[in-house]
Amino acid sequence: MSLVQPYGKPDLFITMTCNVNWPEIKNELAVGEETQNRPDLVAKIFCAKLLALKKHIMEKQVFGDVAAIVYIVEFQKWGLPHAHMLIILKPAFKIKCPTHFDRFICAEIPTQDNPHLRKSILKHMMHGPCGHLNPRCPCMKHLKSKGSCKYVYPKQFRIETTNNGDGYPMYKRRYIGDSASIRKATLDNRWVIPYNPCLSSLFDCHLNVEVCSTIEAVKYLYKYVYKGHDKISFNVVHKGEVDTIDEIEHYQSGRCTKLFIRRIHRAHRWDLSSKEWVKRKNKVIVIGRLTFVAPTEGERYFLRLLLLNIRGPRSFEDLLTVYGCRCASFQEAAIKLRLLEEDDAIDKCLAKACEVQMPPAIRRLFSTVLIFCQPSEPNALFMLPS
């Protein structure tokens, strides 16, 4: 949510999925080799395509001047990388009303006048079929779908783009008699996934573009972007064979594809004169974030508290050193910096209660303190003087 405070709510939500039939992938495969056997190649090509998408959005300003952008790369259950991206536009380029949605987003099958775009949309941007056309479609098996498509397809025909009662966009889907045969079913505009014609023409893949038209979607969208992908560990051995599990090797193998997505050139560049990698001077304002840590996690919580409040620490020793004195723990350092309230107030509260309250009331108060007040040393509260 650090982005929302200086830049406002996101304006566009984009999902880009790798296309295994991209010529850049097909041309690099050996004879008889399949795409699923080259995750390194797939990750590299997708990374290049993702950087090209960012360039079109940031530099060529497909949607206008961008104030901030945040994205994350995930891997689908069958292994293909895909990216979720949130875009915040500058105030002068905000998409404020449904009449502006049609400038960037379309939810109709392209006409025959643009055969390249039409072919791409029919291949990558048609949902289903589901419902009575295909009851076994994955979107029908969702727990909350109750026998209908969880994405509410097919949509209704609409002559113009509007917002529904919750403020979510309902894109224009005109009944013009145009349809196509997709996966043994005849689909029309009601089945089209919203897209941007310019980007779909350029990248020839599943590239869903949606307008974030209401502030209510902000928290959900940021949570969706950072939800992460599913993880699983498995090993295959012959029956009766004792296999030595090398956890370090498995970890490195499992992370290799992720490393290809985050290649070194994002943070460094190759200097031809000195023949070495040098740190890239990034002039773009970057807002970082720290993973949430609950107060019950002890020293991890106090470490995060120090990292959020101490500027430019170079080591753990810097964090533990307060006013020239080294603290024994991160908790002690946080208390000395007055980032935490000491337990004096709690001690006085319990001591006062012991003077005037009956034992059942004192026990309830003690439980309330432990649950809601987060004392730095709970065990010390048992040592209150009688």
Please tell me whether the peptide bond between 154 and the residue prior to it is cis, using omega within 30 degrees of 0.
yes
For 120-124, what is the mean pLDDT?
A: 94
Confirm if 62 and 199 have CB atoms less than 8 A apart: yes
Region of poorest pLDDT, from 38-42, 223-227, 249-253, 377-381:
249-253
Confirm if 95 and 104 have CB atoms less than 8 A apart: yes
Instruction: Say which residues have a Cβ less than 8 Å from residue 152's Cβ, sequence separation at least 6.
Output: none
In terms of pLDDT, which residue wins out, 209 or 277? 209
Give kind and range of the element (H or E) at residue 372: none
Which of 103, 144, 124 is closest to 11 using CA atoms?
103
User: Which stretches of the chain are assigned E, i.e. beta strand?
Assistant: 12-17, 66-75, 81-89, 162-163, 169-170, 180-182, 185-187, 207-211, 268-271, 276-279, 321-322, 325-326
Q: What is the pLDDT of residue 237?
A: 65
Q: What is the pLDDT of residue 280?
A: 65
Q: What is the pLDDT of residue 203?
A: 94
Q: Is 198 exposed, middle or buried (0-12, 13-18, 19+ CB in 10 A)?
A: middle
% of the chain with per-residue pLDDT over 70: 74
Global pTM value = 0.66
Which of 90, 97, 79, 68 is closest to 35 using CA atoms?
79
Q: What is the pLDDT of residue 255?
A: 46
Eight-class DSSP state of 27: T
Residue 375 clears pLDDT 80, i.e. is over it: no
Residue with structure tokens 């000395």? Answer: 336
Q: What is the pLDDT of residue 342?
A: 61
Backbone angles phi, psi at 343, to 5 degrees: -85, 10
326 pairs with which residues across the strands? Answer: 321
User: Which stretches of 33-187 are assigned E, i.e. beta strand?
Assistant: 66-75, 81-89, 162-163, 169-170, 180-182, 185-187
Residue 262 clears pLDDT 60, i.e. is over it: no
For 195-222, what is the mean pLDDT?
A: 83
Residue 216 clears pLDDT 50, i.e. is over it: yes
Most confident of 95-99, 169-173, 369-373: 169-173
Q: What is the pLDDT of residue 305?
A: 87
Eight-class DSSP state of 217: G
Residue 364 clears pLDDT 70, i.e. is over it: yes
Most confident of 177-181, 194-198, 336-340, 346-350: 194-198
Eight-class DSSP state of 141: S
Q: What is the pLDDT of residue 264?
A: 42
Question: What 3-state class would DSSP assign to 236?
Answer: coil
Which of 279, 262, 261 is closest to 270 using CA atoms?
279
Count of helix runs (H) and strand runs (E) in the chain: 13, 12
**Taking the CA of residue 89 as centre, how many other CA atoms within 13 Å lie in the half-sphere pointing to its CB?**
18
Question: What 3-state class would DSSP assign to 295?
Answer: helix
How far is the C-alpha of 171 from the C-alpha of 181, rounded, in Å? 22
Tokens of 360: 């059942």
Q: What is the pLDDT of residue 220?
A: 63
Q: What is the pLDDT of residue 265?
A: 44
How far is the C-alpha of 210 from the C-alpha of 16, rounded, in Å? 12
Q: What is the pLDDT of residue 169?
A: 87
In terms of pLDDT, which residue wins out, 257 or 115? 115
Q: What is the pLDDT of residue 109?
A: 93
- Please give the full DSSP string across 340-358, using - where no structure is assigned: S--THHHHHHHHHHHHHS-
Average pLDDT, the chain: 80
Residue 352 clears pLDDT 50, i.e. is over it: yes
